[in-house]
Amino acid sequence: MDFEQLNQFADAYSTAEDALLAEINDFTRKNHTEPHMLSGHLQGQLLKMISRMIRPGRILEIGTFTGYSALCLAAGLQPDGILHTIEFRAPTAAIAKDFFEKSVYRDNIKLHTGNALEIIPQLEENWDLVFIDADKPGYINYFELVFPRVKKNGFILADNIFFHGEALKENAKGKSAKAIKEFNQFINQRTDIEKVVLTIRDGLYLIRKT
């Protein structure tokens, strides 16, 4: 059985997208120039399940894109919980905002537009769950910025840690692939966390603060 067969099986035997997630998926693929950046059905369902297991009060997402992953993560929030999500590009943030307004989680999601490195220090929160899915050269900086505010036994998820397989090569080429390779090594060498690599989609690091 090859990877595509496994993916098709996983897709067919996992809970289907709800109507709003399906709408975001369809819109993004038809209208955005980089639809591959969408978390998509399988990873989105995993994010939803992880959030529901943790039951976070505060979530930080770095890299909103069109809002799919934020809505998945918001599904596990406590009733009074808040998800802060940061998108660098204003036009993309506007798309996500429109979808958030259609969601039952609209009052639980706070969307910020701009540079995450400038916005994060202004958020006076302690995080139960952080999802990093933004520009790859910024991953280490994002991690170091949020880690002190992650609660003990809190979780950080980092997406695209395979970077289309390029980050696995001994001589990774390209700025993003090199940055992800460096981030993976940075995480692997730390002794103040517990971590596991999930091989879903483009690779996901699941990290627990010990």
Phi, psi of 85 (to 5 degrees): -130, 140
Whether residue 1 is predicted with pLDDT greater than 90 in this model: the reply is no
Enter the tokens of residue 41: 């059905």
pLDDT digits (tens, 9 = 90+) for 4-59: 898 899 999 999 999 999 999 999 999 998 998 999 999 999 999 999 999 999 99
**DSSP letter, residue 202:** T
Phi, psi of 172 (to 5 degrees): -65, 140
Query: Residue 9 and residue 82: Cα distance in Å, rounded?
Result: 34
pLDDT digits (tens, 9 = 90+) for 77-129: 999 999 999 999 999 999 999 999 999 999 999 999 999 999 999 999 999 99
In the predicted model, what is the mean pLDDT of the chain? 96
CB atoms under 10 Å from CB of 104, counted, come to 10
> What is the reported pLDDT for 78?
98
pTM of the model: 0.96
CB burial of residue 66 (10 Å; 0-12, 13-18, 19+): buried
Question: Domains along the chain?
Answer: 3-209 (3.40.50.150)
Beta strands across the sheet bearing 82-87 = 109-113, 82-87, 58-62, 127-132, 150-159, 204-209, 193-198
